[in-house]
Chains A and B, each alone.
Chain A
Amino acid sequence: MTQDNAETELMGKLRRATHQAPAEQIASELTSLGRAPVPALPAQELCEAFLINVLKNQGTINCAANRSEAVKAIASYLHERFHTRKLVAGNDPRLAAMPWRDGGVLPRFGAAEKDPALAPTSASLSYARLGVAETGSIVTFTGKSNPAANNLLVEDHIVLLDVADLVANLDDAWQTINSIQDEEGRPRGVNFISGPSSTADIDAQLVMGAHGPRAWHVILMGDIPDAAMANARGYIEKRLDAL
């Protein structure tokens, strides 16, 4: 059977099996279903709630008041993990404008190593489009400013997030993404990342570093309440003590 036939046949069957309401009626029926309930946040303050959930997702956290502090935080992470000053970052104008000299970081703008004969890139940096407190996720758009390889093919994935780009939940995230798309068009990929790559496929035991990054480090940048990071760590410690 040719493709056109398969499509005509299937669409015909669907037409007979479903309601044939006009589009406006379908849209109003959908609206009448109302809003979905969303999970409560673990803390009232948004930064704290986000940081708690990043930690729950096995990520590590840091906060920086401004871009210079952020570069210094990146430098100390790179030194601690790999004794290096190098990282790879997408061609994002916001990243190009960072004061790299303040921390002595040497970024290469482009994509992570894809040659199987060479060692994988140690660390990449993404400038997140959004952060989601509900799930402790960051959102990147695939493209020149953030090649997909940088999210996936590196050992450690470092993410920088502006506190102004933090939203409460997944529904709010899509509202923002949809309005960005109205201006910039639809990106090829929208990626919600919530932790380092992991698997429990062997004996139901959780192991980090399945196919993607083994570690995930989130730096929240901007006007952040002083106690947010300490409170988030305290919350996780209390939970661990309770177990």
Chain B
Amino acid sequence: MTAVEEELGSRAFKSNVRASLKETEKVKRRDMLGLFMPMIRDAAVKDFDGFEELRQHVKQIKQHSLDNLHHYLSQFVQEAQNNGNHVHFAQDSSEMNSIVLDICQQHDARRIIKGKSMVTEETHLLPHLEKAGMQVIETDLGEYIIQQAGETPSHIVGPALHKSVDEIRELFLQKHALGERELQGPAEMVAEARTVLREHFLKADVGIIGSNALIAESGYSMLVTNEGNGDLCANLPRVMIICTTMDRVVPRAKDAMSLLRLLVRSATGQPVTCYTSFYTGPRREGDTDGPIETHIVLLDNKRSDILASDYREMLQCIRCAACLNHCPIYIGVGGHAYGSVYMGPMGSVLTPLLTSLEESNALPNACTACGRCAEVCPASIPLPDLLRDLRHDETRAKLSPTRWRLGMKIHAWLLCHPWLYHKSTALGMPVLGWLGRKKGSFKSLLLANGWTDERDFPAPQGRTFMQQYQPDRDENNDAG
């Protein structure tokens, strides 16, 4: 997705979907992802007998943290300041971006390295810093690949999983001026990226990272990675900035451990990632490395409104992407179609709440109500319910097409009058059956083009369900 397409955001969902379904190779890659990712998650969950019990425990911890967020956030801020951090509050994206830019400018920073952070994707921090003349390098390998390609993440955990090995090879050959070379296979490409990025790590003035959990009792910020890039960002430059949101707060380190056990298994099928790090603040006297100054920027961006709304449960999300990997719509259309930083089921709930329903009402409709997302969500978020509630809001706000709403109104009225519904179907079915008697199906059908565009509609045969079921029911009732 280019920046221009992203500007259109989720308004363009339907046309994005039509385009993405035509990308044959990408469709195959997504199908593989849809098979592979659930498999590795299932294996990790099966290996841990207490997974379901832990899920319930973490849900209670997260709910308790949100119910008492004022208390825990105050505690976190106090502890973080005691540890020597500067803590900043940002009401919206532009405030966060200006706070970060100000810090960078105060330190005359030219070179910035960045770990993976969905929050900074949300605020479009990178272009903001680049506009001010700074060089910003994404250091998570997936993020680095899409930055080089001028794209946005297609997945919140594996941002470049939509790209094939050949595409990445071509990209590296074009972007890295390293002369003639074969660059065969992922191992060689990773080695090349390691060499190129090592220099950026060692020369950077500022490191920006995200946070997987903020621990109220100690003011620590937890960072979970496999590559170690986030830790290099946190330890090498002279200034470190953590960009995060208040819903990451948990009371104790052991709660962060419970969350970690769910997060990693749900995201990558591992019991633990290679690096799980906890940062307090700036370097101490006598230390040979570590930042001289550390900042924590807490973004609100409507999260306090979500906290006060019926959608509070969405703040339990730990960004594992299990719902994406299990969603037939996400696997079908891919992350870019959503036109949002957050995609899949969690994105379809979060995007309208962070932007507006007017802008993003297509997303809550991109749901088959299959319920797999809720089944696998480690934070027990009732995603299909929240999506239904958003559709309800959409209807109440009259945002869906008039024809659709009229149709739904008629349908609802009919369902509220069962005798009329049974009579009309009992009359309608034989007529449809007679019309389709020759071919046995319809190639097109009035008011049902959405169905018949893709496949034939079978002509009804015999009686309606209720006509067949009612005599049995009456008989059973009599017998009972």
Contact = CB atoms under 8 A, between A and B. Distances in A.
A126 B40 CA distance: 32
B287 A190 contact: no
Contact of A120 (B198, B231, B277, B281): B198
Interface string B52-76: 0110011011001011111101100
A201 B141 contact: yes
Nearest to A177: B253
B414 interface: no
B451 interface: no
A187 B71 contact: no
A33 B60 CA distance: 7
A175 B227 CA distance: 27
Interface string A172-206: 00110110010000111111111111111111110
A203 B139 contact: no
B234 interface: yes
A191 B304 contact: no
Nearest to B74: A11
Given A14-B73, A17-B304, A178-B253, A37 B57 contact: yes
Contacts of A13: 300, 304-305, 307-308
A26 interface: yes
A152 to B, nearest CB: 6
A111 interface: yes
Contacts of B308: 13, 16-17
A9 interface: yes
Interface in B361-387: none
B83 A191 contact: no
A93 interface: no
A204 B261 contact: no
B403 interface: no
Given A188-B284, A207-B190, A37 B274 contact: no
Interface stretch (A74-82, A94-102, A209-217): A209-217
A1 B235 contact: no
A193 B275 contact: yes
B49 A40 contact: yes
Find the residue from A18, A114, A178 having the highest chain B CB count within 10 A: A18
A143 B287 CA distance: 5
B203 interface: yes
Nearest to B215: A174
B55 to A, nearest CB: 10
A30 interface: yes
Contacts of A30: 61, 64, 251-252
Contact of B288 (A23, A38, A111): A111
B193 to A, nearest CB: 8
B416 to A, nearest CB: 36
B165 interface: yes
Contacts of A207: 186-187, 190
B271 to A, nearest CB: 6
B82 to A, nearest CB: 9
B304 A189 contact: no
B120 interface: no
A142 B290 contact: yes
Interface string A19-38: 11101001001100110111
Contact of A17 (B194, B280, B307): B307
A123 to B, nearest CB: 16
Find the residue from B67, B231, B236, B308 having the highest chain A CB count within 10 A: B231
Interface stretch (B89-97, B329-337, B427-435, B438-446): B89-97
B47 to A, nearest CB: 8
A143 B139 CA distance: 24
B226 to A, nearest CB: 5
B145 A201 contact: yes
Contacts of A10: 89, 91, 246, 298, 300, 304
B189 interface: yes
A203 B164 contact: yes
B140 interface: yes
Contacts of B69: 14, 17-18
A124 interface: no
A34 B64 CA distance: 13
B234 A192 contact: no
A144 interface: yes
Given A17-B307, A18-B69, A142-B290, A39 B48 contact: yes
Interface in B248-285: 251-255, 257-258, 260-261, 268, 271-284
B272 A200 contact: no
B257 A174 contact: yes
Contacts of B277: 189-192
A30 B283 CA distance: 33
Nearest to B197: A211
Contact of A188 (B66, B261, B279): B279
Contacts of A134: 271
B218 interface: yes
Contacts of B235: 142, 148-149, 152, 189
Interface of B: 33, 36, 47-50, 53-54, 57-58, 60-61, 64, 66-71, 73-74, 83, 88-91, 95, 99, 139-142, 145, 158-161, 164-165, 168, 186-187, 189-191, 194, 197-199, 201-203, 218, 220, 226-229, 231-232, 234-236, 246, 251-255, 257-258, 260-261, 268, 271-284, 286-290, 298, 300, 304-305, 307-308
The 7 closest A-B pairs by CB, nearest first: A37-B50, A212-B228, A148-B235, A210-B227, A201-B142, A17-B308, A135-B272
20 contacts: A6-B88, A10-B89, A10-B298, A14-B246, A18-B71, A26-B71, A30-B64, A33-B57, A33-B60, A53-B271, A115-B202, A137-B272, A148-B234, A152-B232, A171-B257, A186-B218, A194-B273, A201-B141, A210-B227, A211-B201
Given A13-B308, A142-B290, A199-B227, 20 more contacts: A6-B91, A13-B304, A17-B304, A18-B67, A36-B58, A40-B49, A111-B288, A116-B198, A120-B198, A142-B287, A144-B286, A144-B287, A188-B281, A194-B274, A197-B274, A201-B142, A203-B161, A203-B186, A204-B158, A212-B232
